[in-house]
Protein backbone atom coordinates (compact mmCIF):
# COMPACT_ATOMS: atom_id res chain seq x y z
CA UNK A 1 0.00 0.00 0.00
CA UNK A 2 1.08 3.55 -0.56
CA UNK A 3 -0.03 6.87 0.79
CA UNK A 4 -1.00 9.19 -2.07
CA UNK A 5 -1.18 12.96 -2.09
CA UNK A 6 -4.62 14.52 -2.04
CA UNK A 7 -5.38 17.24 -4.60
CA UNK A 8 -6.89 20.40 -3.16
CA UNK A 9 -9.35 22.71 -4.91
CA UNK A 10 -9.35 24.63 -7.13
CA UNK A 11 -7.86 22.07 -9.54
CA UNK A 12 -9.21 20.94 -12.94
CA UNK A 13 -8.54 17.27 -12.02
CA UNK A 14 -11.31 17.52 -9.42
CA UNK A 15 -13.81 18.56 -12.11
CA UNK A 16 -13.52 15.60 -14.50
CA UNK A 17 -16.05 12.79 -14.86
CA UNK A 18 -14.38 9.52 -13.89
CA UNK A 19 -14.59 6.35 -16.02
CA UNK A 20 -16.13 3.05 -14.87
CA UNK A 21 -13.75 0.16 -14.23
CA UNK A 22 -14.17 -2.98 -16.36
CA UNK A 23 -13.88 -5.14 -13.23
CA UNK A 24 -12.38 -4.97 -9.76
CA UNK A 25 -9.08 -6.65 -10.53
CA UNK A 26 -5.73 -6.56 -8.79
CA UNK A 27 -5.03 -3.01 -10.01
CA UNK A 28 -8.35 -1.64 -8.76
CA UNK A 29 -7.91 -3.42 -5.41
CA UNK A 30 -4.47 -1.79 -5.08
CA UNK A 31 -6.07 1.62 -5.75
CA UNK A 32 -8.74 0.92 -3.10
CA UNK A 33 -6.04 -0.04 -0.58
CA UNK A 34 -4.00 3.09 -1.36
CA UNK A 35 -7.09 5.30 -1.06
CA UNK A 36 -7.90 3.79 2.34
CA UNK A 37 -4.37 4.25 3.63
CA UNK A 38 -4.38 7.87 2.42
CA UNK A 39 -7.83 8.50 3.93
CA UNK A 40 -6.96 7.06 7.35
CA UNK A 41 -3.69 9.03 7.43
CA UNK A 42 -5.41 12.35 6.62
CA UNK A 43 -7.58 11.53 8.66
CA UNK A 44 -10.83 11.48 6.73
CA UNK A 45 -14.02 9.43 6.46
CA UNK A 46 -14.16 9.18 2.67
CA UNK A 47 -11.94 9.54 -0.38
CA UNK A 48 -12.60 9.19 -4.10
CA UNK A 49 -10.06 8.33 -6.80
CA UNK A 50 -10.24 11.73 -8.60
CA UNK A 51 -8.99 13.34 -5.36
CA UNK A 52 -5.65 11.59 -5.90
CA UNK A 53 -5.60 12.28 -9.65
CA UNK A 54 -6.98 8.89 -10.73
CA UNK A 55 -10.03 9.09 -12.99
CA UNK A 56 -11.59 5.71 -12.23
CA UNK A 57 -15.00 5.38 -10.54
CA UNK A 58 -13.60 4.11 -7.26
CA UNK A 59 -14.07 5.38 -3.73
CA UNK A 60 -13.56 4.30 -0.15
CA UNK A 61 -15.15 5.36 3.09
CA UNK A 62 -15.29 4.46 6.75
CA UNK A 63 -17.76 6.23 8.99
CA UNK A 64 -16.90 4.21 12.12
CA UNK A 65 -16.16 6.40 15.12
CA UNK A 66 -12.61 6.63 16.36
CA UNK A 67 -13.30 4.39 19.34
CA UNK A 68 -14.91 1.75 17.11
CA UNK A 69 -13.17 -0.91 15.03
CA UNK A 70 -12.43 0.19 11.44
CA UNK A 71 -15.25 -0.64 9.05
CA UNK A 72 -14.02 0.26 5.56
CA UNK A 73 -16.23 0.19 2.49
CA UNK A 74 -14.46 -0.20 -0.87
CA UNK A 75 -16.62 0.78 -3.82
CA UNK A 76 -16.31 0.72 -7.63
CA UNK A 77 -18.83 1.89 -10.25
CA UNK A 78 -21.48 2.99 -7.73
CA UNK A 79 -24.98 3.83 -8.98
CA UNK A 80 -27.89 5.31 -7.07
CA UNK A 81 -30.90 3.04 -7.70
CA UNK A 82 -33.30 4.97 -5.50
CA UNK A 83 -33.21 8.15 -3.43
CA UNK A 84 -35.74 9.17 -0.76
CA UNK A 85 -37.93 12.24 -1.17
CA UNK A 86 -37.02 13.03 2.40
CA UNK A 87 -33.89 15.13 2.61
CA UNK A 88 -31.47 16.00 5.35
CA UNK A 89 -29.12 18.93 5.78
CA UNK A 90 -25.76 18.29 7.38
CA UNK A 91 -22.42 20.01 7.59
CA UNK A 92 -19.86 18.55 5.18
CA UNK A 93 -16.14 18.91 4.78
CA UNK A 94 -13.72 17.44 2.25
CA UNK A 95 -10.04 16.53 2.19
CA UNK A 96 -9.82 18.49 -1.09
CA UNK A 97 -11.20 21.62 0.60
CA UNK A 98 -9.23 21.60 3.84
CA UNK A 99 -10.59 23.63 6.75
CA UNK A 100 -13.82 24.59 4.97
CA UNK A 101 -17.31 23.36 5.80
CA UNK A 102 -20.81 23.93 4.52
CA UNK A 103 -24.38 22.73 5.02
CA UNK A 104 -25.45 20.44 2.17
CA UNK A 105 -28.97 19.15 1.53
CA UNK A 106 -29.20 15.60 0.15
CA UNK A 107 -31.69 12.73 0.06
CA UNK A 108 -31.79 11.20 3.55
CA UNK A 109 -31.68 7.60 2.24
CA UNK A 110 -30.27 6.05 -0.92
CA UNK A 111 -30.14 2.57 -2.36
CA UNK A 112 -26.78 2.11 -4.09
CA UNK A 113 -25.41 -0.69 -6.25
CA UNK A 114 -21.65 -1.14 -6.70
CA UNK A 115 -18.84 -3.63 -7.22
CA UNK A 116 -17.05 -4.56 -4.00
CA UNK A 117 -13.41 -5.52 -3.32
CA UNK A 118 -14.07 -9.04 -4.68
CA UNK A 119 -15.81 -7.79 -7.85
CA UNK A 120 -19.18 -8.91 -6.50
CA UNK A 121 -22.24 -6.76 -7.21
CA UNK A 122 -23.60 -5.44 -3.93
CA UNK A 123 -26.68 -3.39 -3.12
CA UNK A 124 -26.97 -1.43 0.10
CA UNK A 125 -29.61 0.82 1.62
CA UNK A 126 -27.78 3.73 3.20
CA UNK A 127 -29.15 6.23 5.71
CA UNK A 128 -27.69 8.82 8.05
CA UNK A 129 -23.95 9.44 7.91
CA UNK A 130 -23.40 6.58 5.46
CA UNK A 131 -25.91 8.03 2.98
CA UNK A 132 -24.35 11.47 3.28
CA UNK A 133 -20.78 10.22 2.87
CA UNK A 134 -21.61 7.90 -0.04
CA UNK A 135 -23.36 10.69 -1.94
CA UNK A 136 -20.51 13.11 -1.25
CA UNK A 137 -17.92 10.62 -2.57
CA UNK A 138 -20.06 9.67 -5.57
CA UNK A 139 -20.28 13.37 -6.45
CA UNK A 140 -16.46 13.39 -6.75
CA UNK A 141 -16.73 10.77 -9.53
CA UNK A 142 -18.77 13.29 -11.51
CA UNK A 143 -16.50 16.24 -10.79
CA UNK A 144 -18.84 17.71 -8.17
CA UNK A 145 -17.54 19.15 -4.89
CA UNK A 146 -19.67 19.90 -1.83
CA UNK A 147 -19.21 23.62 -2.48
CA UNK A 148 -21.09 23.13 -5.76
CA UNK A 149 -24.19 22.54 -3.61
CA UNK A 150 -23.74 25.89 -1.83
CA UNK A 151 -24.69 29.36 -3.03
CA UNK A 152 -22.42 30.88 -5.66
CA UNK A 153 -21.35 33.52 -3.14
CA UNK A 154 -20.40 30.99 -0.46
CA UNK A 155 -18.63 28.77 -3.03
CA UNK A 156 -16.57 31.67 -4.37
CA UNK A 157 -15.52 32.76 -0.89
CA UNK A 158 -14.24 29.26 -0.08
CA UNK A 159 -12.49 28.71 -3.44
CA UNK A 160 -10.85 32.13 -3.27
CA UNK A 161 -9.47 31.35 0.20
CA UNK A 162 -8.16 27.96 -1.00
CA UNK A 163 -6.50 29.56 -4.02
CA UNK A 164 -4.81 32.06 -1.75
CA UNK A 165 -3.68 29.26 0.62
CA UNK A 166 -2.10 27.44 -2.34
CA UNK A 167 -0.13 30.54 -3.33
CA UNK A 168 1.25 30.75 0.19
CA UNK A 169 2.59 27.23 -0.27
CA UNK A 170 2.15 24.08 1.78
CA UNK A 171 1.22 24.60 5.39
CA UNK A 172 3.47 23.02 8.05
CA UNK A 173 1.04 20.14 8.59
CA UNK A 174 1.21 19.25 4.90
CA UNK A 175 4.98 19.56 4.61
CA UNK A 176 5.68 16.42 6.56
CA UNK A 177 7.07 13.53 4.46
NI1 LIG B 1 -14.76 15.17 -0.62
| pLDDT score of 175 | 54
Cα of 98 vs its chain's centroid, Å: 13
Domain count, the chain: 1
CATH code of residue 130: 3.90.45.10
Residue 2 lies in a domain: no
Residue 99 lies in a domain: yes
Residue 116 lies in a domain: yes
| pLDDT score of 66 | 80
- Before 10, cis peptide (omega within 30)? yes
| pLDDT score of 144 | 98
Residue 42 lies in a domain: yes
pTM of the predicted protein model: 0.93
Burial 141-167 (b: 16+ CB within 10 A, else e): bebbbbbebbeeeebeebbeebeebee
Query: What is the domain range of residue 71?
Result: 12-167
Distances (CA, A) of 84 to 81, 106, 125, 126, 174: 10, 9, 11, 10, 39
d(CA 51, CA 160): 19
Residues of the chain with pLDDT under 70: 170-177
| pLDDT score of 116 | 98
Residue 50 lies in a domain: yes
d(CA 64, CA 106): 21
The rounded Å distance from CA 54 to ligand 1 centre is 14
Residue of 116, 111, 107 lying closest to 87 (CA atoms): 107
Cα of 9 vs its chain's centroid, Å: 13
Of these residues, 19, 79, 86, 137, which one is catalytic?
137
Residue 119 lies in a domain: yes
137 as an active site residue: the answer is yes
Residue 173 lies in a domain: no
| pLDDT score of 177 | 54
d(CA 112, CA 119): 15
The rounded Å distance from CA 80 to ligand 1 centre is 18
Residue 3 lies in a domain: no
Amino acid sequence: MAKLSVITAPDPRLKITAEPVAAVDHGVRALMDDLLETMYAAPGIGLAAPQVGDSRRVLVLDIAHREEAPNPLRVANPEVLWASQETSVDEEGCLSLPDHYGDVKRPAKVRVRFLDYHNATVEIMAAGALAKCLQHEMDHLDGILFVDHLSLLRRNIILRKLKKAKKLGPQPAMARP
